[in-house]
Amino acid sequence: MAYIIQHTSGRIADGAHGWAARIADRWNRYRVYRRTYAELSALSSRELTDLGIGRSTISRLAHEAAYGK
């Protein structure tokens, strides 16, 4: 009986840890998105042109930086 309780509680703990890890991963990716978006948005139009970036592509570039393609 003790084994069953221990084994079951281990799976519950693993599930809680997995859930927390997924939330942390999502939060970190969102932070990368927001930081990238803010930094690119802060650039002047001239600086963006020098980099070959249009202002309309900032959101897409920030999304790729955070979440991949």
Give domain status of residue 66, yes or no.
Answer: yes
Residue whose C-alpha is closest to residue 40's, from 11, 64, 21? 64
Q: Which domain covers residue 37, as residue numbers?
A: 24-69
Integer Cα distance of 41 and 45 in angstroms: 9
Give domain status of residue 18, yes or no.
Answer: no
Banded model confidence at residue 5, pLDDT cuts 50, 70, 90: low
pLDDT at 35: 98
Integer Cα distance of 69 and 63 in angstroms: 8
Give domain status of residue 15, yes or no.
Answer: no
pLDDT at 14 over 90: no
**Structure-block tokens of residue 61:** 């570039």
Whole-model pTM: value is: 0.73
Q: Please report how many Cα atoms fall inside a 13 Å half-sphere around the Cα of residue 65, on the Cβ side.
A: 18
Give domain status of residue 68, yes or no.
Answer: yes
pLDDT of 23-50, one tens digit each?
999 999 999 999 999 999 999 999 999 9
From the centroid of its chain, how far is CA 47? 26
pLDDT at 12: 60
From the centroid of its chain, how far is CA 13? 24
